[in-house]
Each structure stands twice: as C-alpha cells, then as structure tokens.
Chains A and B, each alone.
Chain A
Amino acid sequence: MSGLTRRTLSAGGMLAAAALALGIGAGSAAAETDTIRIGVQAVPPDELYLARDWLEPYGLKGKITQFSSGGDMLQSFLAGQIDVANGGSARLVTVAANQPDLFYIVSTHQFGGDRYGVIVAPDAPYKTIEDLKGKKIGAVTGSGTFATFGVYLDQHGLSANDFGIVNMKVQEISTAVQQGIIDAGLAWEPHVAIAEASGRAKRIISLKGVNASPNFYLVRRDFADENPEAVAKFIASLLDLTAFVEAHPDQAGELAAGQVSKSGVEVDPKALETAFTRLSFDRKVTDDLLAELVPIAESMKNDNRIKEVPDFASLVRGEYYEKALTLSKAGQ
C-alpha cells in the first residue's frame, strides 16, 4: 500500500517537474557526474555499443536508452532526458536552426550512403527505381535515409511524388514488404542486412555514393560545460569501439547479433558483419562532413521550414575529440 502511494506521489512529482520543465526547459543534473545518459538507436554500431560496457575502463557509468529511430531520440534529447544523442540530416538542421544554444557537435556517429538501401520482396520483379514508379514505398519520412533517398531521386529525374510514400516505423518495413502491404521499403542498416539474411526481402538499390549522410554525436551544452571529462571519456570509448570493429569485424558482428537477439530477434552474425562493412565511422568531425548539411539546410530554408541556414561550424567543439585521442586505450 505504502509502495503504491509512494509511486503515485512520485508520479505526481514527475508531473509537477514536467510542468516546470515546460516553462524553463529541463536542465540536467549538477556538477561532476559519474554517469552519462546516452541515447542510441537500433543500428549496428549502437547495438555493439550496448553489447559491452565500453565506458568501464574510464570509470564512467553509462545510462543507455535505445530508441526506435533518430527522431524519437532527438525528441528525448530536446526534453533533457539524455545528455548524448546522435543525429543528422533534416532533423539535425531543424534542431540546429532553432536551438543552437542547446548542444555541441563533438564527434561523428556513422556515415556512408551504402548503409541505406531499397528492399523488395524476394520474388518481386522490380530491379531499378523506375520500376517502382507509382508503387507504395515504406520509409521513415523524417530520417536521413529519406533525405538521401530524395537526393537519389533527384539524380534520376524523379521526385517523392512519383511514388506512394508510406511513413512507418523502420522495424515494420521488412515484414510489410514481405507481406505485400508495401511494394518496396527504404531502410537503414542493420534492417536491410537482417531482411536479406532472413529471406524476407532483397536489396535492389544501395544509396552508396549518393552522399555520405553523416550522423553526428550531439552533447547537451549544460552537460558538456559541467562535465568536459566525461564527454572526452565517452568519445574515447567510441574510438575503442571503432578500433575493435576494424580489427575484428567478425567478432563485432557476433557481439551485435547477440545484443539484437536479446530483443527476441535471431540475427545471423554474418548479416551484421555485412552491415558493418557498409558504413564508415571515423570519429573526427571534418569540414567535408559538415558541408553535407548545408544543401539540406538551404533547401529547408527555401521551403520556409527554417529561417536561416545555421552556422554548423560554430556548433562543433573539437577539444573533446582531441582529448579523447590521448585517453583512448586502443590508441595507445
């Protein structure tokens, strides 16, 4: 009974806190923390990040929350639920244009167009994008995948209006393709590789070379300013992970597959190894990668979705990365 009342009270407190947060904008906790709240997605490097405690060598605790897509994660990042998120493309541009004081860009997460693919049912007759004209394509419309797909369509003289775009959650896309609910699906790794490995679908198009579509690591400013050490340690753990994948892609695949299976899906480790080969993740934020955001921002400005093209370079803080290089166990 008392347990119940306490829970009810805590819920009440939470709501009151929420009401406060609405006005003030939630801030994160006080000085010198030993815990960092990290948001991850269901993508191979993140599954691998979950599979092992990469922060442990640095004496830092990670409170990791997994989200279904970057949109969900950035929502929670804005709400102050997590300190670290990753994001790219249109959503990053929107947040950068509207909340430039909220966060720093500290590192890259992953990039490379090959991690995006168009899948169809195994026995489907479609081979090229032209074959899919007028057909239903499932996609996560706010995602970087979808933005890169838009560029790809541009290159082929097509537009999204030539297809029936169906907005859905990424996890549903491969089963929807298999069931014939949609004719094709646009997804990112590992969903493409898993769909292929399980025989539910086949990849007919890779968006390799269309653009790099970089995803960046974002850290809330209030957190980074108070805990610079923790941010550097976090990036160091990312460097370790990169080194591990490059040295042992097979083990990385197995670890990530083991992690995915915890959510009830059996995945072929080979599928995830394939997925790892389809993406690049050098952690340094380069001007070239940042420059990829500018055309996206410009087209959004033309659409009146943002007022100004944000100055992305002003959001980058390289010092955490530099420090991480000296900290990283793998680098030494």
Chain B
Amino acid sequence: MTDIQIERADGRASALAAGSARRLLAGIRFVAPVFGMLLVWELVVRAGLVDGRVLPPPSLIAARGFEMVFDTEHAVLLQHIGHSLYRAVAAFAIAVVVALPLGFWLGLNRTAYNWISPILSVLLPLPAVAWTPIFLVTLGHGDATIISVCFLGAVFPVLYSTIQGVRAIPPHTIWVVRSMGAPRHAIFTKVLVPASLPTVMTGFKLGLAHSWRTLVAAEMLAALSYGLGYMIFAARQYMDTQTMFVGIVLLAMLGFIFEHFLFGTVERATIRRWYAHHRKGG
C-alpha cells in the first residue's frame, strides 16, 4: 500500500528488447542492494562482530528453512504456513462478506451513516488484538479466536473504504441514471459498483494486509499448535533464533505477495475492464 516503488522501466517508445533489458536492469538494481545487505549480514556474523545466536547468518536461516520442509515429519513448516494462510484468508473473507453490504448501506443511507459513524470512529482506532483476552474466555484458544481477532482487524478498512467509495459518487449520477428508467439492479451494477470499485479495492488491499499483520500477534497469544506467529513465539522458548528468522522472512515474503502480486493482478483485471476504454477515449 505504501511501498516505495521501483522506478518503472519506461521503454514503450524504444524497441521491445531495449525495454526488457531496462526492466532487467531495474530488477538488478532492486535485488543487488538486498543481496548486498545479506552478504554484509553474513560476513558480519561470521566475523564474530555480532552474536550469531541472536542474529543468525542468512545461510543458516535458509538451511533451517529447508530442514523444516524436507527433514521433518509432515513438512512442519508448510503446516505452519498453511494454518496461517487459512486463518488470514478466512478472516478476510468473512470481513468482506460483512463489510461490503454494510458499507454500501451506510454509504447510500445518510441517516444510518450519521447514527452509526460515531460507533465506527470509536472502534476504528482500537487495535483488534486488544479483543483477544475477551475472545479467549468466550471462544477459547485456537482458530475461532484467531480468526475473530483478524476479522476485526480486516473489517474496518474494508468497511471504511466501501463507505467512502460509495459516498464519493455524486448523487446526481444516480438520479440521472434512475430518471432514464434504469432498474435498481442496473443502477447497482452499472453505476455504484464501477464507480466505487477503485476505493473498494484499496479497502480490500488494506483489509488483507491488516488481517495478515494482526494474525501474527493473535497467533502468538492464542494458537495452540500451528501458525507462523506461533512458530516464532514458541521458538523463543529454546532460543531458536534461526526458526524465528525463518518465520520473519516467510511473513515478509507472503505479505509482499499479498500486497503486490495478488491485488496487483486483481486490480488490473477489474479496474482495467471498467476504466480502460475511458482512458482510450480521453
């Protein structure tokens, strides 16, 4: 959502080959410093400048990661990843199911919005993790609590963005379409949905990111067995920093994939469909 974008290789005018070469260069320019950092890290630890037990070198972290996939019963690392993904995605899906209709209703109905928005503005800055103790005594430890906490983390960004997206549509657009005799569902599919889509997509992106970020803490507090958050926290018990960093690297990678590729693709697929011809026309 707020990443510092790499410079886009803008080789449209030049030949295709030149463009891809430039893209390759951009890729190298992005990857090289990261590799440089890893190399410095490795050397610093190997040279004994930093305690290897606190900050294990990248090579050992990678080795530990492979070991956890190939040398354990049932590929334990994949189990952790699977549980985490399931919880984050389930929470996000429930959040969408709840927030989308609610958001459209609040966005369209001014009275409802006026009455309900004060409650939302109190709940919005409240960290979802703060609810964990309450869920623990009502739902117990495990998936139900974790998914509920992540749901609370994801639902507000989606809801908020949906409301904003719908409210930003000028009312006269709806009046005009309605006065032309368009049926209700057409107003919905032809006006409301396309017009609010960019904002709603931002909300989805934020919602999934929040679900993912909340998950780590929720798993540390409430998981009984699996999950990346649980894995990192449990590793602390044995001072197993290698496992901790395996978890951290995986969280970063999965988060990156969520925030960039997944929604990047969806955004391109949906928003282009509605907006591409506009752009051509302009």
By the criterion CB–CB under 8 Å, are B93 and A11 in contact? yes
Any A CB within 8 A of the CB of B140: yes
- Mask, A6-47, CB within 8 Å of B = 1, is 011001101100100110000000000000000000000000
By the criterion CB–CB under 8 Å, are A175 and B94 in contact? no
Any B CB within 8 A of the CB of A211: no
- Inter-chain CA distance A7–B143, complex, in Å, is 12
Question: How many Å from the CB of A176 to the closest CB on chain B?
Answer: 9
- Of all chain B residues, the one with the shortest Cβ separation from A178 is B239
- Inter-chain CA distance A262–B171, complex, in Å, is 63
- Of all chain B residues, the one with the shortest Cβ separation from A67 is B141
Question: How many Å from the CB of A9 to the closest CB on chain B?
Answer: 9
By the criterion CB–CB under 8 Å, are A75 and B238 in contact? no
By the criterion CB–CB under 8 Å, are B139 and A18 in contact? yes
Identify which of B90, B91, B151 gathers the most chain A CB atoms within 10 Å of its CB. Answer: B90
| Chain A residues closer than 8 Å to B136, beta-carbon distance | 72, 75-76, 79
By the criterion CB–CB under 8 Å, are A175 and B238 in contact? yes
- Inter-chain CA distance A82–B91, complex, in Å, is 24
- With A65-B224, A75-B136 in contact, is A18–B148 under 8 Å at CB? yes
- Inter-chain CA distance A179–B54, complex, in Å, is 11
Question: How many Å from the CB of B6 to the closest CB on chain A?
Answer: 32
Any B CB within 8 A of the CB of A80: yes
| Chain A residues closer than 8 Å to B94, beta-carbon distance | 8, 11-12, 15
Which residues of chain B from 55 to 94 have a CB within 8 Å of any chain A CB?
Answer: 86, 89-91, 93-94
Interface size bucket, A side?
A: 20 to 34
By the criterion CB–CB under 8 Å, are A175 and B90 in contact? no
Any A CB within 8 A of the CB of B130: no
- With A8-B90, A175-B238 in contact, is A72–B151 under 8 Å at CB? no
- Inter-chain CA distance A283–B90, complex, in Å, is 43
- With A11-B93, A67-B224 in contact, is A76–B147 under 8 Å at CB? no
Residue in A78, A80, A81, A175 whose beta carbon sits within 8 Å of that of B239 in the complex: A175
Question: How many Å from the CB of B165 to the closest CB on chain A?
Answer: 24
- Inter-chain CA distance A80–B142, complex, in Å, is 13
Identify which of B86, B140, B234, B238 gathers the most chain A CB atoms within 10 Å of its CB. Answer: B140
By the criterion CB–CB under 8 Å, are A18 and B238 in contact? no
| Chain A residues closer than 8 Å to B142, beta-carbon distance | 76, 81
| Chain A residues closer than 8 Å to B91, beta-carbon distance | 11
| Chain A residues closer than 8 Å to B97, beta-carbon distance | 12
Which residues of chain B from 203 to 251 have a CB within 8 Å of any chain A CB?
Answer: 224, 234, 236-239
- Inter-chain CA distance A7–B89, complex, in Å, is 10
| Chain B residues closer than 8 Å to A265, beta-carbon distance | 238
Which residues of chain A from 150 to 169 have a CB within 8 Å of any chain B CB?
Answer: 169
Which residues of chain B from 137 to 166 have a CB within 8 Å of any chain A CB?
Answer: 137-144, 147-148, 151
By the criterion CB–CB under 8 Å, are B139 and A79 in contact? yes
- Inter-chain CA distance A72–B139, complex, in Å, is 12
By the criterion CB–CB under 8 Å, are A79 and B236 in contact? no
Question: How many Å from the CB of B276 to the closest CB on chain A?
Answer: 28
Which residues of chain A from 166 to 197 have a CB within 8 Å of any chain B CB?
Answer: 169, 171-172, 175, 179
- Inter-chain CA distance A169–B139, complex, in Å, is 21
Question: How many Å from the CB of B222 to the closest CB on chain A?
Answer: 9
By the criterion CB–CB under 8 Å, are A22 and B138 in contact? yes
- With A12-B97, A172-B237 in contact, is A79–B140 under 8 Å at CB? yes
Question: How many Å from the CB of B74 to the closest CB on chain A?
Answer: 13
- Inter-chain CA distance A15–B137, complex, in Å, is 15
Which residues of chain A from 62 to 85 have a CB within 8 Å of any chain B CB?
Answer: 65-67, 72, 75-82
Any B CB within 8 A of the CB of A209: no
By the criterion CB–CB under 8 Å, are B86 and A75 in contact? no
Question: How many Å from the CB of A255 to the closest CB on chain B?
Answer: 20
By the criterion CB–CB under 8 Å, are A79 and B151 in contact? no
By the criterion CB–CB under 8 Å, are B237 and A80 in contact? no
Any B CB within 8 A of the CB of A125: no
By the criterion CB–CB under 8 Å, are A171 and B151 in contact? no
By the criterion CB–CB under 8 Å, are A15 and B141 in contact? no
Question: How many Å from the CB of B45 to the closest CB on chain A?
Answer: 19
- With A12-B94, A79-B137, A171-B237 in contact, is A18–B86 under 8 Å at CB? no
- Inter-chain CA distance A179–B236, complex, in Å, is 12
- With A12-B97, A67-B224 in contact, is A21–B139 under 8 Å at CB? yes
26 example contacts (A-B, Cβ-Cβ < 8 A) are as follows A7-B86, A8-B90, A12-B93, A12-B94, A14-B143, A14-B144, A14-B147, A15-B144, A15-B148, A18-B138, A18-B139, A67-B224, A75-B137, A75-B140, A75-B141, A76-B140, A76-B141, A79-B138, A79-B139, A81-B142, A82-B140, A171-B234, A171-B237, A172-B236, A175-B238, A175-B239
Give the 4 A-B CB pairs with smallest separation, nearest first.
A81-B140, A76-B140, A79-B140, A11-B90
